[in-house]
Amino acid sequence: MSKTKAHELVGSKPKKKCCRKKTRCMKCPVVIHKLNRLAADGASKKDLKKSLKTVRDNPNRTRAA
């Protein structure tokens, strides 16, 4: 993982177009959207960090459980 923190991605501007690779990049619109939804539900920084890995690997799942 890069040094970008998950809570810093919340509210950031995504890329214009999704690359749709197997492991999505940090600025992918899908990843940003899922993290924004989790943050709106009241996820903590620790929850966002766990969820970032899961969302990037498999964007259909939103929870890291």
pLDDT tens digits, residue range 22-64?
788 888 888 888 888 888 888 888 888 888 888 888 766 655 5
Mean pLDDT of 7-30: 83
In a domain, 51, yes or no: yes
| pTM for this predicted structure | 0.73
Report the pLDDT value the prediction gives residue 8, as an integer from 0 to 100: 76
Can you give the residue range of the structural domain that contains 31? 22-59
In a domain, 64, yes or no: no
Total number of residues shown for the chain = 65
Q: What share of the chain is helix, strand, coil (3-state, %, to 5)?
A: 45, 0, 55
Report the pLDDT value the prediction gives residue 59, as an integer from 0 to 100: 62
> Does 3 or 50 have the greater pLDDT score?
50
In a domain, 28, yes or no: yes
In a domain, 10, yes or no: no
Tell me how many domains the chain contains.
1
